[in-house]
Amino acid sequence: MPVASAHMSRDLLTVAPDETLTAVAKRMVERDVGAVLVMEGESLAGILTERDVLRAVAAGITDDTLVSDHMTRDPETMSPDDTTQHAAVLMIHGGFRHLPLMEGTTPVGMLSIRDLMRVVLDNAAPRGV
């Protein structure tokens, strides 16, 4: 199986926990991303996904609702040197679709379930006869 770093997104959108949920949701739409990394200084504090935003809307948000109110704290992470198979196992068993990739304590990428589907489809595509 290929390593995660070959398929991860490197252009990460990071936000602070004290930003408003509506402002961050707008940035997610502008950048067309399904998840953002929530950083406290240099440390990964959590992840905010489109599912988190949807749950927040269902619960009722106001203009002052913060990212920290709805983010997933201390998300599962893995190394970019781990395999895409390992990422798939973590995602399927954990029930999530975005996985931050870390070098030590530094986020260096994000792997999505869509990225993993591309790996599967690339490997399943028929080759010349």
Q: What is the pLDDT of residues 9-55, one digit of tens each?
A: 999 999 999 999 999 999 999 999 999 999 999 999 999 999 999 99
Pairwise CA distance, residues 22 & 65, whole Å: 8
Q: Which domains does the chain have, with CATH numbers?
A: 4-124 (3.10.580.10)
- The pTM assigned to this predicted structure is 0.89
Q: Listing from the earlier edge strand, what are the strands of the sheet with 43-49?
A: 14-15, 35-40, 43-49, 72-73
Buried b (16+ CB within 10 A) or exposed e, 82-103: bebebbbebbeeeebbbbbbbe
> Which pLDDT band, with edges at 50, 70 and 90, does 104 fall under?
very high
Q: Considering Cα of 4, then 87, then 107, then 21, what sign does the dihedral take?
A: positive
How far is it, in rounded angstroms, from Cα 31 to Cα 89? Answer: 27
Confidence of residue 120 (pLDDT cuts 50, 70, 90): confident
Q: Which residues pair with 108 in a beta bridge?
A: none
